Structure 1
């Protein structure tokens, strides 16, 4: 096997580990409409980056958008629950409880979550929302690439670099003036399905009242 072929194989394996294979959900429009949630906070974009605690490599990128409704654009994502409708890689009904569950499901013994938030104008948030909804489902290993493509179409974010790599996207996004960065650590079971099975939306809603 030639050297450049070896390099391509290695790169492919890294990218596939970043955003794993999944089948995008296709919730009916009426279900998506019923799940609509309007958050009282300011219009904002929140970039989630899942980072391997051992290697520092990026595991996944997703974007929460608080516009006329709050959604998460989760390209090729694997955190799914029957109470959170998904259509073409967009998760709907992102209440505070759901947002907390989403973050905690990704933070575990093997990974932490970098949460980067920036307040934007209503126009920018709405543009991001429409781009996410119209984007369609994303193929495996393209999470950072698809999120960066949406960001680069927004006023004030044209300087965000187009990249296949979640950590590179996080670094570039962090250079935008006004971005506030936090890191979220938990040490639950490394298997995300454990957190998914344990999620009780009624209990979470009661805790957030």
Structure 2
């Protein structure tokens, strides 16, 4: 996959999940709100090392009354996407692609598992993600499994620190679709380092 022209002005640290408490102001969150118009769904993104197939990171996109991305202890961000403690608002289709493109590289694939849910389940997942708080280093899988565990229809997803265990359980849920995102970009991710100022105010974000 060709590197997207627009991307993120931050340095990658894939395996090292780490996050600081962040709280975007109300007006920024309200302004960024994005409604996809699609059926409510929950999508699990798992970053998997090509050599050895170890899970390196878990992220959760929730598409309900709005589309958000729970990226616990992750390093992904964008200046037009406000964040509150690992929950990112305003996940347009372009931002979704940025998220995937940021993580996929010559040594990592991004595995996408998507399942349609009721509006009530999607909203409950958003509320859980909003209430979860900033996630500590190496707790990305644990926090994603905490949010999923106990949601109606997700009872078989275990509480675990391991992204692959979450992925394998999620993949067995009825109706799940799977997509694998490959990218041959260098492992140092130098292609995603660029100034955002010229793009941050353009429409489509």
Please classify the TM superposition score into its range, dividing by the shorter chain length.
0.7 to 0.9
CA RMSD of aligned residues (A): 2.1
Question: How far is the alpha carbon of 1:202 from its aligned partner?
Answer: 6.9
Classify the secondary structure of the residue corresponding to 1:197.
coil
> Among residues 90, 94, 119, which one is paired with 2:91 in the alignment?
94
> Among residues 47, 53, 58, which one is paired with 1:61 in the alignment?
58
Q: How does 1:3-82 map to 2 (within 5 A)?
A: 18-82=15-79
- Asked whether 1:164 is paired with 2:173, we answer no
Q: Give the TM-score normalised by structure 1.
A: 0.85
Task: Tell me how far apart the structure 2 counterparts of residues 173 and 201 of structure 1 sit (CA, whole Å).
Answer: 34
Contact map agreement 1:49 1:60 (CA 8 A) in 2: yes
Residues 42-98 of structure 1 show CA distances to partners (whole Å, capped at 9, x for unaligned) of: 000000000111221111001000010100011001111212111110011000010
Structure 2 runs not aligned, ≥5 long: 1-12
4+ runs deviating over 6 angstroms:
none
Greater RCO structure (CA 8 Å; 6+ sep):
2
Task: Tell me how far apart the structure 2 counterparts of residues 72 and 107 of structure 1 sit (CA, whole Å).
Answer: 17
Task: Tell me how far apart the structure 2 counterparts of residues 118 and 198 of structure 1 sit (CA, whole Å).
Answer: 35
* Bigger CA radius of gyration: 1
Contact map agreement 2:72 2:86 (CA 8 A) in 1: yes
Task: Tell me how far apart the structure 2 counterparts of residues 135 and 57 of structure 1 sit (CA, whole Å).
Answer: 26
Task: Tell me how far apart the structure 1 counterparts of residues 85 and 138 of structure 2 sit (CA, whole Å).
Answer: 16
Question: If each structure's helix is expressed as a fraction of its own residues, which one has the higher value?
Answer: 1
